[in-house]
Chain A
Amino acid sequence: AQKVTQAQTEISVVEKEDVTLDCVYETRDTTYYLFWYKQPPSGELVFLIRRNSFDEQNEISGRYSWNFQKSTSSFNFTITASQVVDSAVYFCALSDRAGTASKLTFGTGTRLQVTL
């Protein structure tokens, strides 16, 4: 069975601090996809990144970066120089059975609060 664990329930930082959100996953499949989504107070889930299981290269997009390590089954998300607009709930998700179905298994989310 697939499972995603986000052990950090809530994180509070001051603006301009760096913050890392942890994600640990479990799956028996060798082909799978990992995702991060942001849910601001408005409620809509915003897609941030998708990474397949064969690509362990780290990715950077502006202030966002992701570290994928298959050896530890982790897919962590770092925000550099956080801003108040980054305040939201962040979800890590896993999709396996790639090519046959699109079921996303979500973690419980990490609420990030960025204050001035």
Chain B
Amino acid sequence: KAGVTQTPRYLIKTRGQQVTLSCSPISGHRSVSWYQQTPGQGLQFLFEYFSETQRNKGNFPGRFSGRQFSNSRSEMNVSTLELGDSALYLCASSTRTGGDEQYFGPGTRLTVT
């Protein structure tokens, strides 16, 4: 079974631009969660989607948004990029929501200049 895939793997954007990251979960997994990893703040939860509905949201500004499609694929969008948004963005999928083990993709490394 193929693992979680994320595209693109690397991205360089300019402050003020917007960006869209994509995540394809493991086949059969319906829950997709997004995390941001930075050296200063560590791994932080962004949001979770299950059956196209946002189930939970972390403590991030409204510039961070996401959605999930009927095939469980998910996208996250960051508008008006700031230098502090530079991070590794990790997507994870699980069979169900709530307590199941989550399998992570390789991440998208976003650099904002």
A→B interface (CB under 8 Å):
32-33, 35, 37, 42-47, 50, 52, 91, 93, 95, 97-109
Contact = CB atoms under 8 A, between A and B. Distances in A.
B42 A106 contact: yes
| Size range of the chain B interface in the assembly | 20 to 34
A44 B42 contact: no
B99 A44 contact: no
Interface of B: 31, 33, 35, 42-45, 48, 50, 55-56, 58, 88, 90, 92, 94, 97-107, 109
Given A102-B56, A103-B33, A43 B106 contact: yes
A103 to B, nearest CB: 5
Contacts of A50: 99-101
Q: Which A-B residue pairs are the 7 nearest by beta carbons? A: A98-B99, A45-B104, A101-B56, A106-B43, A99-B98, A33-B99, A50-B101
Nearest to B41: A108
Given A102-B50, A102-B56, A108-B42, 4 more contacts: A35-B101, A46-B104, A47-B101, A103-B48
Contacts of B50: 102
